[in-house]
Structure 1
Amino acid sequence: MPEGDTLHRIASALGPRLVGQPVRALVLRHQSIERLAGHLVTKVEARGKNLLVFFDEGTVLHTHLRMGGAWHLYGEHERWRRSPASATAVLAVPALVAVCFRAPVARLVRASLLAGDAAIGRLGPDLIAPAFDEAAALARLRRMAGREIGDALMDQQVVAGIGNVYKSEILFHERLDPFAPVSAFSDEELARLLVFARRIMVANATAKPHASGPGAHHGHTRTTREGARPGEGPLAVYRRAGEPCYDCGALLEMRRQGEARRSTYHCPRCQPPRRAAIREARA
């Protein structure tokens, strides 16, 4: 599932191969963008779950993979591993072709307009970015006082990069009830949550892939369980509903959360409800 770490891995894989190269062709949703031919790729950057490819004439290619999209990098004459019909964006430079498959969001935008862009300009601090602003992230999270914390963490205007996997995993690690409002937690608890989220996401974003070749930047097993014992998986709770908790043995659960009804995995024993705090918040 593409979350912030996946996008940073993609940017790290594509950037060194594309930056400085002239565009031979750009095809967006099966339409050729001829005005970019000959222009240089100047930067490839991840912002949360978004990938941005900058060109020297001021245009940016913005893609968002949502649940099923992927970026692959191929040699000029190499056979693609997916059907060309599913290609959303194709960027060809000398000897290389970068292909984005099945991206629900793929568009061109002017770099000068990014700051005010509805999708990019409103993003919260990126947890993986070198200049991550913890104080700003905490302040944005605090503004979600009455919202369930598991739902608030998924709001990309609060912090950018967290998806279903990391939401469930970081809340379990910090033993926080996903269904209690943000107001139920202290600044110290929220700060520890952000620190752990950043540490584990950076570690996964920079880990070496297990394979090379097309799509190799996806060939990494995401790990959130530090110090896992033999026989334990790399994730503590995600997609493990009905299985015993590695720490206490209670059966893990999954509940839908928020307007989008996203899945939240948790341990009912390690993450006990904060009922008193919920009543206070409602009052």
Structure 2
Amino acid sequence: MSDITDSACITIVTEYLLNNCYKNTAKALQFETNKLAARSEDLSGQAPTKSTLRREMKNKDRMETEEKPENLKGNKNEEPKSARASRSQGDNTSDAMDTEEDDPSWKLLDARKDIYDSILAGNIDRAIQDIRFNFPIMAQVNPTAEEPSYYEILMYKLACQEFVEIVRSGEELEAIKFAHTHLGTRHQTLQEIITRVSPLIAYHDPTNCSSSYLFDHEQRQALADEVNMAVLTLSGLPTETALEKLSKQHNVVKDTLNQMKFEDPAKDPNSDRKMSM
């Protein structure tokens, strides 16, 4: 492939990785891409530019830092994720001349990924705290509005998921207290949401009832994806990447061709007769 085609492919893949919070994979792709670029300069006989050398050294340092065992396992005494996310914005600014992190897709990636990962892990309270810190507009509530806003509905879904996680832990009294404090609402739309999760508290073994599906990992996954899409929209970023659009287009073309069921005239026993007429 040409350099232009390679660059386009890398851009498409990177966009998908960033939108779906695969930060480490995106970093690894960027690191290897920069290595290949530097190697190409060596093979072509051109001296690597200063920006290339600085970019390669910084990427190497980042990769080594992220791969340290203490960073992979986490630390109970580590600074809050929201603080790290805020600090990372300053780091990205200083690296803008040497890396691709000046692209809007990289901004607030740490904050978005922390929220996403917290929801997947069932740490909903942490996710809500990070949202309030990094995306406060999502946590705003208009008490006089006749209908809840999209963000208010989303935050209520998070609160309901936190209720589910408390029930999962077996803390029945804590779950009841949480419901009374955080889940009361006058909006019909929100009442319909709480109606789906409130029956859990009535069962001695909520994992063995008709509502047990609420404990499935797919519930966390769906909510994490929905919150991620909301944050992307709020940040002015596309909610559907070029790679996802290409995949959909490929499937549409494939299905259309299958429906048309083209026949090869050479295999049609009547084709010779039709041509002679």
- TM superposition score normalised by structure 1: 0.24
- TM superposition score normalised by structure 2: 0.25
- Structure 1 or 2: more strand by fraction: 1
The structure with more radius of gyration: 2
- Structure 1 or 2: more helix by fraction: 2
